[in-house]
A and B are shown apart, each in its own frame.
Chain A
Amino acid sequence: MLILMVLLALAALSAGAYAMGRRKARQATAGAAGRPHSLPGYHGAYVALWTGLPAAILLFAFVAFGGRIEYALISADPPPASAGITAERMATYYGDVQSVANGQSTSAVVYEGAAKTAFDAAVAHARSTDTLARLLAAAAALVLAIGGFLLAFPKLSKDFRARNRVEGLTSAVLIVCSVVAVMTTLGIVMSLLYESLRFFQAVSPLSFLFGTDWDPQIAMRTDQVMTHGAFGAIPLFAGTFLIMIIAMAVAAPVGLYSAIYLAEYAGRTTRAVVKPALEILAGVPTVVYGFFAALTVGPLFRSGFNALGAQLVGGPLNDLGLYLGQVQNQMALVAGAVMGIMLIPFVSSLSDDIINAVPQALRDGSYAMGATKSETIKRVILPAALPGVVAALLLAMSRAIGETMIVTLAAGLQAKLTANPLDTVTTVTVQIVTLLTGDTEFDNPKTLAAFGLGLTLFAITLVLNIIALRIVQKYREQYD
């Protein structure tokens, strides 16, 4: 509450500083000959930024890191031995103290007797520390604000280059924002790499990348002989690619054809309806596709194949009939088909943009040669748009490989090395989910395998995306 009020006060101070800076700049230039270097608004903004920004940064730093400092302060003061808090319980104990002091929760553990006295004392201590820290932070912020103002305001004069300073600061803010994004990506990659390295110390990369047996459960019991050899990722990648191929078999033709229809055949009114409808399809959460696959499409396919199998049993295709009679809900075909439907708007929207980017002059040229619409599309527009369409398909592929929810719900968990779309397969993403859900400890190959898988997956999609972007770039050069 106090922090919020200080923030409001800072805003008011900055506004005041802006007005004062502007007025001073106006007064300075009013009598003088020649034009001032910067507009009065820039002078105002310069003072306002010096007033508000350092103080605001301090406050945000306090909100972000203040809790840790307070924790260090209160835990510097250990509870009396009579409270009976063991060394292992200490972290939990102080965590409890801090959350009770902040009013976030009442203690999950009931402390009694001497422990309760110590606990209450610690809570009171934490409260007073917290109040003091907040007051200090607020005071420091106000001092910074006034100091900034006093530092900046006297600098204003007719020739002061306020615009350059303000613009420099603005570009600094922009740089910081982009650095945040880049650093986050870098951090993710580093943590993936680091944890993967730990995994590859336990399991050799060769047996991971080329092993055909995936059974991470065995490694849980370290006393067993078979602790390695069970991390062969080939079946997972095979399952991933099988589902991806099925998905692309659905999404590529349907998406491409709908893009051709939208770009070349559809009238303006049809386009106005169909395009937003496709975009709605693109906005459906993947988990919805997931239960659509698991609860609707899966049973539908199964009963269809079972019925077909029943027809074939006893005939010349008896064995096939028997097989079809016992297929399960969870098959690669279901996950792949639903994923394909999910990718249709993605492929069609990208391809539509690409086809529309083909210059009208080429269409005119072809029509003027007496080509029909379909000849123009087949012989001129699609060849011209091909690189972009290929790039769109590659991007769709990398989405299919990284897709998680649909396969988690519809594909299955059994790691099988098979090319049979009616069989149940598992994918890399599904395995990552199963490896990391529930209580996990990051000290055994079972959980670390998730990072190995994640890194490999990341590498594959990265390569696909780079290829796609390169193709798109090449394509752009052609027409710009």
Chain B
Amino acid sequence: MSYISKDPSNPSGSPMTTPERHQGDHADGVPEIRLRTAAIGAHADAPTGTLKVQAKKINVFYGAKQALFDVDVDIPGKAVTAFIGPSGCGKSTFLRCINRMNDTIPGAKVTGEVLLDGEDVNDRQIDPVTLRARVGMVFQKPNPFPKSIFENVAYGPRIHGLAAGKADLEEIVEASLKRASLWEEVKDRLNQPGTGLSGGQQQRLVIARAIAVAPEVILMDEPCSALDPIATARIEELIDELRQQFCIVIVTHSMAQAARVSQRTSFFHLGKLVESGSTEEMFTNPKDSRTQDYITGRFG
């Protein structure tokens, strides 16, 4: 409750989004989408040349149940790729293949290849610990550790031994919090528990925690679904900034969000990848009728 009143009054955070941008949030998505995709049109095709992640024939089984069927996706570097689709379509499952988080689920089995810079992440040589340092993840519900704000951000650098000393660590924490546009709000209370922040601030704290280890890819699993529209707008803005430096993959239920933040979009349905393409094309001229039906709200 409290953060609704806190965030707008925040004096020093990054500039708030323009009113036009909010209007398209829920009501009429289409004109809004046109606006955004037109603005990013130049980016839309450019990054596809440098592929960061390539998935080939991914099948995932949870026990006897198959969750993904022969999924092939190409994810470009330094851009935002959105996965959309109805609940249970396998988009989060696929996301968890990229940093091998499915390993932590008992009974989960993954077949196929996920190439990160041409290296198969499922290769026996690859240690999931180092993989996850390269591929960070942000979850649906903000999950700060029950530690201070500082310790939350310092967690990754500490376990991976990234900081040479205390000063170095403080520098990393400050830089990460600034990148996550949270620094101004928390710089005076770094020793207070991270769980005491508002929902939107917690999610930015978790993003700061993820970027503190300087990952190459950041996976975001519905990062705004637990947040109110204002906090969502701030996260989206942040995602837009972060794509200058990171390869970002975002799973979202909101097609408007996918249209706003992403350059490429993949549509999943019933465990299969239906269609992938530039966001502009997917939302204006989808090739598959199922994509058409989904983005126009006929199902899902």
In residues 365-389 of chain A, which contact B (Cβ within 8 Å)? 365-372, 375, 379-380, 383-384
The answer, among A364, A375, A384, for a CB contact under 8 Å with B101, is: A364
Is A363 part of the binding interface, using a Cβ–Cβ cutoff of 8 Å?
yes
- A380 with B156: CB separation less than 8 A: no
Is B137 part of the binding interface, using a Cβ–Cβ cutoff of 8 Å?
yes
In residues 146-194 of chain B, which contact A (Cβ within 8 Å)? 146-147, 155-156, 159-160
- A478 with B146: CB separation less than 8 A: yes
Given contacts A370-B213, A384-B146, contact A364 B139 (CB under 8 A): yes
| Closest chain A residue, CB of each to CB of B132 | A370
Alpha-carbon gap, A380 to B128, bound state (A): 19
Contacts of A314 in B (CB 8 A): none
Is B289 part of the binding interface, using a Cβ–Cβ cutoff of 8 Å?
no
Is A168 part of the binding interface, using a Cβ–Cβ cutoff of 8 Å?
no
- B106 with A267: CB separation less than 8 A: yes
- A369 with B106: CB separation less than 8 A: no
| Distance in Å: Cβ of B138 to nearest Cβ of chain A | 8
Is A361 part of the binding interface, using a Cβ–Cβ cutoff of 8 Å?
yes
| Distance in Å: Cβ of A268 to nearest Cβ of chain B | 7
In residues 263-291 of chain B, which contact A (Cβ within 8 Å)? none
Given contacts A361-B143, A375-B159, A383-B147, contact A370 B131 (CB under 8 A): yes
Is B133 part of the binding interface, using a Cβ–Cβ cutoff of 8 Å?
yes
Alpha-carbon gap, A370 to B143, bound state (A): 15
Contacts of B99 in A (CB 8 A): 368
Is B234 part of the binding interface, using a Cβ–Cβ cutoff of 8 Å?
no
Is B210 part of the binding interface, using a Cβ–Cβ cutoff of 8 Å?
yes
Contacts of A379 in B (CB 8 A): 145, 155, 159
| Closest chain A residue, CB of each to CB of B107 | A268
Is A359 part of the binding interface, using a Cβ–Cβ cutoff of 8 Å?
yes
- A371 with B159: CB separation less than 8 A: yes
Alpha-carbon gap, A372 to B160, bound state (A): 10
In residues 100-159 of chain B, which contact A (Cβ within 8 Å)? 101, 104, 106, 128-133, 136-137, 139, 141, 143-147, 155-156, 159
Size bin of chain A's contact surface: 20 to 34
Alpha-carbon gap, A372 to B104, bound state (A): 11
- A383 with B146: CB separation less than 8 A: yes
Alpha-carbon gap, A359 to B140, bound state (A): 14
The answer, among A267, A268, A365, A383, for a CB contact under 8 Å with B143, is: A365
Contacts of A367 in B (CB 8 A): 101, 104, 132
The answer, among A363, A369, A371, A383, for a CB contact under 8 Å with B136, is: A369
Is A362 part of the binding interface, using a Cβ–Cβ cutoff of 8 Å?
yes
Alpha-carbon gap, A371 to B152, bound state (A): 13
Is B206 part of the binding interface, using a Cβ–Cβ cutoff of 8 Å?
yes
Is B48 part of the binding interface, using a Cβ–Cβ cutoff of 8 Å?
no
Secondary structure dominating the interface of A: helix
Contacts of A372 in B (CB 8 A): 129, 159
Contacts of B159 in A (CB 8 A): 369-372, 375, 379
- A369 with B104: CB separation less than 8 A: no
- A362 with B106: CB separation less than 8 A: no
Is B195 part of the binding interface, using a Cβ–Cβ cutoff of 8 Å?
yes
- A365 with B195: CB separation less than 8 A: no
The answer, among A268, A362, A365, A371, for a CB contact under 8 Å with B129, is: A371
| Closest chain B residue, CB of each to CB of A384 | B146
- B130 with A370: CB separation less than 8 A: yes
Alpha-carbon gap, A267 to B101, bound state (A): 18
The answer, among A267, A361, A371, for a CB contact under 8 Å with B139, is: A361
- A370 with B145: CB separation less than 8 A: no
Contacts of A370 in B (CB 8 A): 128-133, 156, 159-160, 213
In residues 342-367 of chain A, which contact B (Cβ within 8 Å)? 359, 361-367
| Distance in Å: Cβ of A100 to nearest Cβ of chain B | 71
Residues 83-104 of chain B, each 1 if its beta carbon lies under 8 Å from chain A, else 0: 0000000000000000101001
Alpha-carbon gap, A363 to B144, bound state (A): 11
- A369 with B132: CB separation less than 8 A: yes
Max count, chain A CB within 10 A of own CB: residue among B99, B129, B133: B129
Is B209 part of the binding interface, using a Cβ–Cβ cutoff of 8 Å?
yes
Max count, chain B CB within 10 A of own CB: residue among A361, A365, A367, A371: A365
Alpha-carbon gap, A365 to B206, bound state (A): 9
Contacts of B144 in A (CB 8 A): 365
Contacts of A375 in B (CB 8 A): 159
Contacts of B131 in A (CB 8 A): 370
Alpha-carbon gap, A80 to B99, bound state (A): 100
- B143 with A362: CB separation less than 8 A: yes
Max count, chain B CB within 10 A of own CB: residue among A364, A372, A383: A364
The answer, among B104, B129, B130, B133, for a CB contact under 8 Å with A364, is: B104
Contacts of B155 in A (CB 8 A): 366, 369, 371, 379
Alpha-carbon gap, A364 to B206, bound state (A): 12
- A268 with B106: CB separation less than 8 A: yes
Alpha-carbon gap, A207 to B147, bound state (A): 48
Contacts of B213 in A (CB 8 A): 369-370
| Distance in Å: Cβ of B245 to nearest Cβ of chain A | 18
Contacts of A361 in B (CB 8 A): 139, 141, 143
In residues 183-234 of chain B, which contact A (Cβ within 8 Å)? 195, 206, 209-210, 213
Alpha-carbon gap, A284 to B147, bound state (A): 40
In residues 259-294 of chain A, which contact B (Cβ within 8 Å)? 267-268
Alpha-carbon gap, A58 to B278, bound state (A): 84
| Distance in Å: Cβ of B103 to nearest Cβ of chain A | 8
Given contacts A370-B156, A379-B155, contact A365 B146 (CB under 8 A): no
Alpha-carbon gap, A478 to B156, bound state (A): 23
| Distance in Å: Cβ of B177 to nearest Cβ of chain A | 16
Alpha-carbon gap, A384 to B101, bound state (A): 22
Contacts of B101 in A (CB 8 A): 364, 367-368
Alpha-carbon gap, A364 to B139, bound state (A): 9
Alpha-carbon gap, A245 to B173, bound state (A): 42
Alpha-carbon gap, A366 to B106, bound state (A): 17
Max count, chain A CB within 10 A of own CB: residue among B132, B133, B159, B209: B159
In residues 159-188 of chain A, which contact B (Cβ within 8 Å)? none
- A365 with B106: CB separation less than 8 A: no
Alpha-carbon gap, A91 to B77, bound state (A): 99
| Closest chain A residue, CB of each to CB of B215 | A370
The answer, among B104, B141, B145, B160, for a CB contact under 8 Å with A380, is: B145
- A368 with B195: CB separation less than 8 A: no
Contacts of A268 in B (CB 8 A): 106
Can you pick out 5 interface pairs between chain A and chain B where the beta carbons lie within 8 Å of each other? A267-B106, A367-B132, A368-B99, A372-B129, A383-B145
| Complex A-B, nearest 5 residue pairs according to Cβ-Cβ distance, in ascending order | A370-B132, A368-B137, A361-B143, A370-B133, A365-B143
Chain B residues with CB under 8 Å of chain A are 99, 101, 104, 106, 128-133, 136-137, 139, 141, 143-147, 155-156, 159-160, 195, 206, 209-210, 213
- Known A364-B143, A365-B145; further 20 A-B contacts with Cβ < 8 A: A267-B106, A362-B145, A364-B104, A364-B139, A365-B206, A366-B145, A366-B155, A367-B132, A369-B159, A370-B133, A370-B160, A370-B213, A371-B159, A372-B129, A375-B159, A379-B155, A380-B145, A383-B147, A384-B145, A478-B195
